[in-house]
């Protein structure tokens, strides 16, 4: 009987224990589900864009033109994205100061532009970067970045570029993020010179007593890894020996007394991950794997004697870089590891020239075809460059395929990204894993995810360029809400925008067909508002990635190539300057914002009176001029009112002043326009009806246009803000001479072009077929044909081959 009671108690206790475990497991799963839901919700609101620039080359001389094409893609699937209509492109020097900037118009995920490199630039390596306004909500780490070399042959080279002293640096990256005392860790390392290239080296890890702990050696691109277990209270350093006989010492990150270590093993079709811990409670852990902001895998874990283990089938992961993050019970990220799943799809670009060798001024025809790897036709949107190879040639740092799949998700500049895709074997896989370990640690920001109420600072420019400004009270310095602000662009094409400031005093102007160098005028109604300070923000980001721009070294044997390149550049600029600076005509709407006026007066067709009052009273029938309390007022006819027979006569004219414009700029005081010299005005347009333009409500419009559209002789209010402001870049036409006639073929004008062809808009048709054609110049040599592009479904690819031009 007692035995029965004992067993009954044991059964009850066991049942309670199982229920407790199930309850805890259920709580952990619920918390994980909430985390997954929060991340999914955030990702659904946070569309991620990727921008890639294909440049015609990577090495330039001052006086040459840098050509580029911008591809804007959806990070989720690499498909061309039509959300942002503007890409910002900058050229930064080694101090991250912008030396050239441009706003590039984008349609259907594509845009193109160019930089004419001025002779004021110093020789050196520069960072070319590109991003959209929406991308500014994330770290500058997500911007496109590429190293461009520029040499100024009109100046003496800085001696440091020629007699450069090579410097070396080493960095150590514990797998998962941190070293923990007493826990075995894999540590990856990278040893670079000051040009950013990896160097071969070997070394030893020593403690503070200089006792050797382990040895290590680089494998590829200066990278490698080793295992070691740090001891509590000890500090470790690496003594590094280089192949040239020199060496240096570099400290390792200090180990934490307690924490977590994550280790990943790639075992064929499965990824196995081991979590070890020290000084941590046996609490719940959570693992989430994401690829391009899409969750692939999630699991709740429990430490068992300080360890936890799980496996991920590769079939659960999408192609590309997967970010595997370990969270503790407080949802704090404590470890992170990247894994790369090779993409299965690629755009194959086949190109075949009609000859192998060409003479000078010969026609070159290159047939193109695009397909996927199975041979299925894929129409592609491509960009193409053909340029001369010489001793200065620097291979492109990857291509659109390697960037979208790999480089865009890693930090810093990557040496030869194409290496990781060419030959898939054990060596490249090991090198790829070392790359992920050394350039992949991100630090997951859970606070940003969990705060679903937060709004984004920067909005997508889905119509055109967005100009942002701020209104503050001059007396208090505080933001001024609910203030109507006018932005105008002085000129013969009447362009006016308005916005009401929000609670933070911010105003946004969505510009339409806004191209080239302009002046903009920012105003409030000066007859009512004189206490406001107006400012305009630059649309270019003031955030920069922490990657240093590699140092440039110019070898002595580059002198001949530099002299030749300089000669070609000077001849091109001397003989073809006008051809090199031609711009594409703009296909934009030139009508004023109010479209078609009710009446237009060309003042030269009338008697030219010497006062504006006479002009308005004598033959502008739609405007009534009056004077009250020593101030002039205009009243425009309400033309639609005349069609309403039951409207009272008093309702057939507006009782308030109309919107008055001079070359598109609002004039709020009628006295000022009455005092203006009418002989400077060529045209007067009347809108004889109420006109609503966004927040601007006008009781008719009276618009004066001068001969040149430059406000001659008119002084704006001191509170008005006048700024020089560049709109979207006008596209330059690539100069490519036509030698199809005998006269052109025999022309004595020299053709020393080093870039024979550039086109940002090469398309293959529904059958995957296309062609590019151009003429060779007068310079013999080897020319590299580079093609890059993407299909509508996001398959990216590239191809290159060499053409020979004989003497």
Average pLDDT, 10 consecutive residues per value, the chain (807 residues) = 45 44 66 89 87 97 97 95 96 95 97 97 96 95 95 85 81 94 96 90 95 95 96 95 93 94 94 93 89 92 91 95 92 93 95 96 98 95 97 88 95 91 91 93 58 75 96 94 97 96 96 95 83 95 88 84 93 93 92 94 95 95 93 91 49 88 97 97 96 96 97 93 96 96 94 97 97 97 97 96 94
User: Which residues are CB-neighbours of 705 under 8 A, at least 6 positions away?
Assistant: 492, 494, 663, 681, 682, 683, 684, 685
Tell me what pLDDT residue 449 has: 58
Sheet holding 201-207, edge to edge: 212-217, 201-207, 236-242, 247-251
pTM here is: 0.92
Other Cβ atoms closer than 10 A to 213: 18
User: What is the C-alpha separation between 688 and 702, in angstroms, rounded?
Assistant: 9
Bridging pattern class, strands 696-706 and 659-662: parallel
Number of alpha carbons in the 13 Å side-chain half-sphere of residue 689: 14
CB count, 10 Å around CB of 146?
21
How far apart CA 381 and CA 791 sit, in angstroms, is 6
Could you tell me which of 62, 63, 82 has the C-alpha nearest to residue 72?
82
pLDDT at site 158 = 79
CA dist., res. 140 & res. 132, Å (int): 11
CA distances (Å), 782 to each of 239, 388, 397, 399, 787, in order?
45, 6, 20, 21, 16
pLDDT, residue 640, reads 72
Which pLDDT belongs to residue 451? 58
Q: What's the pLDDT score for residue 599?
A: 95
Maximal CA-CA distance, the chain: 126
Measured in degrees and rounded to the nearest 5, phi and psi for residue 316 equal -80, -15
Compute how many other C-beta atoms are within 10 angstroms of the C-beta atom of residue 169.
15
Closest listed residue to residue 295, CA positions, set 316, 309, 271 = 316
Q: Give 164's DSSP letter.
A: P
Pairing of strands 144-151, 631-636: unpaired
Burial of 768 (0-12, 13-18, 19+ CB in 10 A): buried
Q: What is the pLDDT of residue 11?
A: 44
pLDDT, residue 452, reads: 53
Model pLDDT, residue 398: 92
Q: CA 783: distance to chain centroid?
A: 30
Taking the C-alpha atoms of residue 85 and residue 459, their distance in angstroms, rounded to an integer, is 12
Nearest to 92 by CA among 41, 43, 22, 140: 140
């Amino acid at each position: 009987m007692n035995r029965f009671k004992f067993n009954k108690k044991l059964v009850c206790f066991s049942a309670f224990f199982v229920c407790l475990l199930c309850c805890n497991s259920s709580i952990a799963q619920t918390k994980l589900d909430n985390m997954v839901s929060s991340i999914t919700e955030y990702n659904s609101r946070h569309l991620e864009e990727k921008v890639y620039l294909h440049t015609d080359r990577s090495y330039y001389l001052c006086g040459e033109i840098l050509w580029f094409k911008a591809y804007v893609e959806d990070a989720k699937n690499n498909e061309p994205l039509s959300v942002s209509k503007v890409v910002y492109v900058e050229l930064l020097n080694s101090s991250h100061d912008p030396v050239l900037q441009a706003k590039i118009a984008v349609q259907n995920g594509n845009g193109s532009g160019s930089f004419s490199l001025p002779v004021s630039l110093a020789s050196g390596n520069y960072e070319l970067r590109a991003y959209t306004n929406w991308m500014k909500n994330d770290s500058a780490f997500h911007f496109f970045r590429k190293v461009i070399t520029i040499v100024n042959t009109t100046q003496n080279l800085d001696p440091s570029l020629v007699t450069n002293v090579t410097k070396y640096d080493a960095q150590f990256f514990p797998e998962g993020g941190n070293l923990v005392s007493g826990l075995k860790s894999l540590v990856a390392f990278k040893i670079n010179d000051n040009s950013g290239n990896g160097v071969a080296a070997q070394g030893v890890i020593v403690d503070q007593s200089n006792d050797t702990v382990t040895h290590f050696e680089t494998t590829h691109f200066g990278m490698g890894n080793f295992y070691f277990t740090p001891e509590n209270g000890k500090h470790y350093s690496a003594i590094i020996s280089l192949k040239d006989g020199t060496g240096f010492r570099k400290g390792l990150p200090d180990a934490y007394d307690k924490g977590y270590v994550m280790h990943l093993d790639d075992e064929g079709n499965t990824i196995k991950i081991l979590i070890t811990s020290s000084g941590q409670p046996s609490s719940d852990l959570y693992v989430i794997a994401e690829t391009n902001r899409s969750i692939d895998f999630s699991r709740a874990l429990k430490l068992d004697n300080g360890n936890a283990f799980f496996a991920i089938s590769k079939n659960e992961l999408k192609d590309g870089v997967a970010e595997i993050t370990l969270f503790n019970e407080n949802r704090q990220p404590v470890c992170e590891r990247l894994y790369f799943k090779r993409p299965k799809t690629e755009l194959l670009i086949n190109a075949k020239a009609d000859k192998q060798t060409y003479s000078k001024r010969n026609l070159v025809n290159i047939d193109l075809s695009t397909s996927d790897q199975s041979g299925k036709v894929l129409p592609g949107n491509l960009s193409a460059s053909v340029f001369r190879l010489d001793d200065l040639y620097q291979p492109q740092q990857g291509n659109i395929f390697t960037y979208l799949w790999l480089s865009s998700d890693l930090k810093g500049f990557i040496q030869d990204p194409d290496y990781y895709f060419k030959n898939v074997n054990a060596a490249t896989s090991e090198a790829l894993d070392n790359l992920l370990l050394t350039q992949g640690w991100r630090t997951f920001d859970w606070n940003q995810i969990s705060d679903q109420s937060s709004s984004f600072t920067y909005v997508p420019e889905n119509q055109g360029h967005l100009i942002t400004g701020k209104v503050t009270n001059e007396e208090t310095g505080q933001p001024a809400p609910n203030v109507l602000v006018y932005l105008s662009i002085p000129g013969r094409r009447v362009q006016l925008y308005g916005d009401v400031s929000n609670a933070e005093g911010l105003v946004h102007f969505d510009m339409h067909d806004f191209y080239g160098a302009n002046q903009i005028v920012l105003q409030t109604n000066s007859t009512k508002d004189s206490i406001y300070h107006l400012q305009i923000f630059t649309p270019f980001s003031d955030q920069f990635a922490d990657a240093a721009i590699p140092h440039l070294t110019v070898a002595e044997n580059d002198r001949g190539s530099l002299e030749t390149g300089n000669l070609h550049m000077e001849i091109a600029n001397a003989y073809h300057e006008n051809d090199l600076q031609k711009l594409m005509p703009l296909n934009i709407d030139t009508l004023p914002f109010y479209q078609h006026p009710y009446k237009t007066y060309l003042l030269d067709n009338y008697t030219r009176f010497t006062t504006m009052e006479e002009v308005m009273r004598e033959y502008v029938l739609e405007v009534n001029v009056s004077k009250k309390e020593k101030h002039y007022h205009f009243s425009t006819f309400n033309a639609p009112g005349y069609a309403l027979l039951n409207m009272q006569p008093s309702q057939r004219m507006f009782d308030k002043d109309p919107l008055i414009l001079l070359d598109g700029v609002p004039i709020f005081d009628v006295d000022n326009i009455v005092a203006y010299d009418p002989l400077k005005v060529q045209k007067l347009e009347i809108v004889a009806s109420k006109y609503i333009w966004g927040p601007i409500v006008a009781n008719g419009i009276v618009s004066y246009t001068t001969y040149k559209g430059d406000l001659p002789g008119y002084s704006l209010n001191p509170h008005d803000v006048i700024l020089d402001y560049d709109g979207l870049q006008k596209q330059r036409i690539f100069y490519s001479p036509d030698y199809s006639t005998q006269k052109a073929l025999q022309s004595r004008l020299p053709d020393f072009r080093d870039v024979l062809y550039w086109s940002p808009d090469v398309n293959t048709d529904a059958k995957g077929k296309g062609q590019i054609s151009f003429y060779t110049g007068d310079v013999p040599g080897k020319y590299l044909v580079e093609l890059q592009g993407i299909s509508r479904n996001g398959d990216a690819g590239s191809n290159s081959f060499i053409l020979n031009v004989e003497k």
